[in-house]
Structure formats: structure tokens, C-alpha cells
Chains A and B, each alone.
Chain A
Amino acid sequence: MTWTDLDTRIVSIAVLVSIACALPGTFLVLKRMSMLTHAIAHAVLPGLVLAFFLSGSLNLGVLMLGAMVVGVLTSSLIQKLSSFAKVEGNAAIGVVFTAMLALGLLLLRMLAEGIHLHADCVIEGRMTLAATDTVRFAGLRLPTVSWLLIAVVAMNAIAMLVFWRPLVASVFDPDHARLQGLRPEWMHQGLMGLTAITTVAAFEAVGSILVVALMVIPGATAVLLATRLPVVLALAVFLGISGSAVGHVLAVVLPRPMAQLTLGQELGDRVSDTSSAGMIAVVLGLQFLIAALCLRRDAPLRRMFRGGGAAGRQPGVELSRSTPASS
């Protein structure tokens, strides 16, 4: 393959998304709310369509605003349904996001027929499109989405650094955090807000499948492999970045030879490449699979990551739970 400027931009967008997602994503895995990001990524569709319809443009800023409003609304609606109307949590997620998505799809069909905002883009993302739409800022020409993602990464990183202690305490021991006056409810709401904003920004760049894959899979893989939270976060970022790069390369390199091998020369020649978002999700899944296999007692990787490191641990920061890995 010939590596072009476009490839660099696509990978750089995917890398930025993986950094942005790994931070709230890991906490979502620990708080057992992984499917929320999937729900938000689907539920923002009516917001996108309406913002597009009302503004009459595909201006990224307007679309983002519409989607973010709907994203935050969705997560609070899910909470309201489960706390006030006593709808069971998982069912509340299912009810809210499918209703919103259905509304979005219907609006899309009726209002925005034949325009850029196509359902496929929503599902598969518009990485190629996003990569070609560039803006010069501070002497640097980068895709518009990249600037947005840089802002989200900065926001997430600053929020994590400032609220590290209460955030960690609220994830692992909310009761103790409450006694210490650390306000776990505020941390929960804050995390929901960060998740909604990050999901929408990432969704703009890579589509809804990759959002759930990038938010949850690297964090889950890292949780399997490491014990201390800072290591887990760093590992999640690293896994996201490497998965994005490898996934995109495979999406460009793999399809044609595979197609020629299985479908024969004539049909295979028609195939050039495939969805980068899809392949990145597959690679992230494979990373998880490898990590899960490495967890076997005799696996060397397991000793490397899980052994030692007992010195300097902070209480409450360890990911140990009632069921240790060795059981």
C-alpha cells in the first residue's frame, strides 16, 4: 500500500478518539455502565438531524451542539426513568435509546433525504470525510474534527487530574467517599456529562460502532491486564492508539488479498479496502481476546503485568474486588 496524507489524517483522528475515549471509558467499565455510551451514540441522531434541518448546514459546530444537548438529555432521561418511574436500569437504557434512534431515522428519511447526513455515515462514521475537512488554527492545518477532539482530550485529562481523588473514591467506595464529604453523586453526574460529550465528539469522527468499541474495549482489556488504576488508564490509551493504527492498516491492506483468496481473482479484484472503523473495532476485540487468553495461570504476560508492584499502592485505587483474578 502507499501511505498517503489521508491515511495519516485518518489514523490521527482515530488515535485522538481513542485517547479521548479511554479516560471516561475505563471508568464506565468499572462503574458497570458500559452500554450507556452505545445508547448515547445512537440516541443523538434526532439531535443531529434537527440541528442540521434548523441550521440548514452541515456546520460541525451546530451539529455538535445539537447532539451534545440530546446526549446529555438522554443520559438524564435514562436516570429519571430508572429512579422515578422505577423502570429497571437496563430496560430504561433500551427504551430511551431505541425510541430516540427511531425518531432520528424517521426524521432523517423525511427531512434530510439525499443529503450528506446519510444513515450509513451515522453507523460507519465518516472518517474519510472528516479527514478531508480541514481548518487552519494556530499555524497548524488539521482536520476540524481533530481540533474538536484535542479539546475533548484536554477537557477529559484536566477533569481527571483535578477530580482524581473524589472520582476514584466514588467509583470504588461511594459510601466511604460520602462520609469523607467527596460527593460521589456529583462525580457520577460529572462522569455522565464527560461521557456524553466524548461520545458525541467521537461519534462525529468515527461513527457509532467504533464509539462503543473504543470506549469500552481498551478499558476492559486494560482492567484485565493491570491492577493499579493509573497503569490501567495508561494501558487503555496505549491499546486504543495501537489498535487504531493496526486496524486502519489492515482495513487498507487485508481485503483485496483475502477476497482474491476466497472469491477468486475476478471478483477479488473489485475489492479495494473496507471500513476502517469496522476493522479497528475488530482489532480492539482481538486485543481483548489475546489479553483474556493471557490470563491463564501459566501465561507469561500475566506474570509480567500482574506480579510485583506492591510498593506504593494507594488504598482504594487498586482494582481488586471480591473476586480476585486467581480464583
Chain B
Amino acid sequence: MMIGPSLETASVTLASLLPVLEFNTRVALLGAGSLGAAAGFVGTFLVLRRRALIADTLGHSTLPGVCIAFLLMTLFLGSARNLPLLLAGGTLSAGLAAWAVSAVARLPKIREDAALAIVLGAFFGLGIALLGVLQQLETGQVAGLDALIDGNVASLRAGDAEMIAWLSLGAVLVTILLFKELALLAFDAEQARLQGLPIRFLEFVQLVLTVVVTVAGLRAVGLILIIALLVIPPAAARFWSNRLPVVAALSALIGGLSGLMGAWISAQRAGLPTGPLIVLTASAVFALSLIFGTTRRRRRVERVPGVDGSEVVSG
């Protein structure tokens, strides 16, 4: 992916909006915060459709693609320090995994849970096998791959943070544009079909959005924990409201703040892992919402969603 000069100026502008901190910290906060907000927003619809765990399979499935991209770059470019190309590899294999999940789930007697586990096991296994080979090549750059598995924003470059921010912004914008359609799909797919909405296309868009957020998040939280950013903020936001626009906005807020907090804490001392800290911040918000949240105490009867999908089906 090419990042033009105009985007680079924009990155400097964006980074300078943040409070006066060290440049590296600002870059890390920009990446982690925008990613968290986008993941929370996009994840809301995933959780509503009860497909939260597909994010886990997609995250794990990026590994073989990342490894192959690494191998190709080592062979042809001599260096594998190009994050966009690594992420492009991850995108391809996550996309393939998404297709595999839907193909497997269409088989007789196999449901989506099994399809997710099968694809996850096979893809991640392949990734680990490839990684085992890469580690023996001794090119000295495999350490860069660890940042994608564990997540580490401390060494994030400004251009890469910028890319994460733009990907996040893109995912949020597409979700806002298709808000009504995605909401109706989540609440009542049958109704959506009757209204003539392109269901397959919307499902495809949702998968693409999930893949984009997942891949953008590899560098910040790592491929094992990325599902957390798509699931925990919506689940926490759900304790505070029954209205979808509120839940989605709150979820984006929780995700964004968790990203900022986690990245900020991990910048305080060398060796503090970013991904786990971001996830633990979000988990703390979830725990507080579970205890103090306002919606679950008065258990409501499930409501039929309005045509505009503004009612959240409880449970």
C-alpha cells in the first residue's frame, strides 16, 4: 500500500492534536486509540449477529499469510520490514479463512461453531509450521513477526500508525453509511430479505470490515487478542443502553479509551506488553458495566425491532 505525501502531512497533523507527549507515545496512542474505536463500532454488529467468535478465527488465520508475505519479502526485497505488505498477506489469508468458514458451515451436520474451530486450527497450525521454518532462516528480522503475534505499539512507526488510523476511519465510515442495513440484518435477517436488501452483499461487507479491523489491529494487540477489541466493548456497552446507535457509539468510545489507556500504560515502562494491557483495560470497563450497568437489572421482554432497527433485541 502506498502512502502518499499528503497522507504523511495529515499524519503529522493528527499526531500533533494529541497532548504534548513524546513523539513515539503520540504515534502509539494514535494507532491504538483509532483502532480501538473502530473495532468497538464494527464489533457491535458482529456481537448482535452472534458471530463474535469469527473474529477469533480471522485473527488466528492471518498468521500463514503474514509468514508467506515475510518469506516472499525476504526472498525478493531482501528486507521484511514493510508492515503494509505483511498486513496484505494477513488480509489474504484471513479472507480465505472467512470463505472457508462459510464453505465448511454449509456442509451437512457441521454448524458454524465447528467450522470456526476447524478453520482456526488448520490455518493457525499452518502458520506455526511456517513460523518454525522462518525462525531457522536466521535473517534476524523474525522478531518483527512477534509484534504481530503479541502486539506491540512501542516501536510503531508514524507511517504505520497513520495507516492503522486510516483503515479504522474507513471501517467506521462504511459502517455509518450502511448503519440501517447492517442493523436490520442483525435484528431480523428475514425482514431484511423481505425488504429486498442484498443480504449476501451485506454479509460480505461485514466480513470485509471485520477483516480490515482485525488486520489493522495485529500490530497493536496481536493476532491472538484482537477478538477482544471487537467483542468486549460492545458487550460492555450493551449494559448501558437498549438503543443500537447509543450502544454502537458507547462501544466505540469504550474501545477507543481502552486503546489509549492500554497504549499509554505500556509506554510507561519498557517490556510492558501493549495488547494485554489494552484488553485488560477493556475488561475492567466490562466488569464495571456488569456491576453498575443500567439495562440488565430491569429484565425486559424481548422487543420486536422497529423497521429502522433502533431497538436492540435483549439477550
Contacts and interface: CB of A to CB of B under 8 A. Distances in A.
Contacts, number: 223
B296 A86 contact: yes
A255 B132 contact: yes
Given A35-B116, A105-B275, A217 B122 contact: yes
B225 interface: yes
Contacts of A255: 129, 132-133
Interface string A60-93: 0000000000000000000000000111111111
A217 B118 contact: yes
B113 A209 contact: no
Interface residues of B, number: 66
Contacts of A263: 71, 75, 137
Nearest to A264: B75
A303 interface: no
Interface stretch (B10-18, B83-91, B197-205, B230-238): B230-238
B264 interface: no
Contact of B108 (A212, A270, A275, A325): A325
Interface string A273-289: 11101111110111010
Nearest to A285: B122
B255 interface: no
A275 B129 contact: yes
A216 B118 CA distance: 7
Contact of B133 (A93, A102, A124, A271): A271
Interface string B97-130: 0000000100111110110111111111111111
A151 interface: no
Contacts of B239: 85
Which of B47, B55, B224, B296 gathers most chain A CB within 10 Å?
B224
Interface stretch (B25-33, B164-172, B278-286, B303-311): B278-286
A124 to B, nearest CB: 6
B235 A87 contact: yes
Nearest to B72: A262
B52 A91 contact: yes
Nearest to B119: A285
B138 interface: yes
B109 A321 contact: yes
A288 B296 CA distance: 42
A95 B232 contact: yes
Contacts of B133: 255, 259, 271, 274
Given A275-B128, A284-B121, A101 B225 contact: yes
B302 to A, nearest CB: 11
B56 interface: yes
Most buried by A among B117, B120, B224, B276: B117
Contacts of A90: 47, 50-53
Interface residues of A, number: 71
A281 B124 contact: yes
Interface in A164-221: 209-210, 212-213, 215-217, 220
A224 interface: yes
B56 A224 contact: no
Given A255-B132, A319-B109, A102 B121 contact: no
B272 A98 contact: no
Interface in B267-315: 271-273, 275-277, 279-280, 283, 286, 290, 296, 299, 314-315
A317 interface: no
A101 B273 CA distance: 12
Nearest to B293: A85
Contacts of A259: 133
Contacts of A103: 276, 280, 283
Contacts of A86: 296, 299, 314-315
Given A33-B113, A88-B47, A285-B121, A270 B138 contact: yes
A244 interface: no
Interface in A214-264: 215-217, 220, 223-224, 251, 255, 259, 262-263
Given A220-B114, A284-B125, 10 more contacts: A85-B239, A89-B50, A95-B286, A113-B271, A210-B125, A224-B107, A270-B136, A274-B130, A282-B125, A321-B109
9 contacts: A29-B110, A32-B114, A35-B113, A98-B228, A98-B232, A102-B225, A216-B118, A220-B114, A288-B104
The 5 residue pairs across chains A and B that have the minimum distance between CB atoms = A281-B125, A285-B122, A213-B121, A274-B132, A278-B128
Interface of A: 29, 32-35, 37-38, 42, 85-95, 98-99, 101-103, 105-106, 109, 113, 119, 123-124, 209-210, 212-213, 215-217, 220, 223-224, 251, 255, 259, 262-263, 267, 270-275, 277-282, 284-286, 288, 292, 295, 319, 321, 323-325, 327
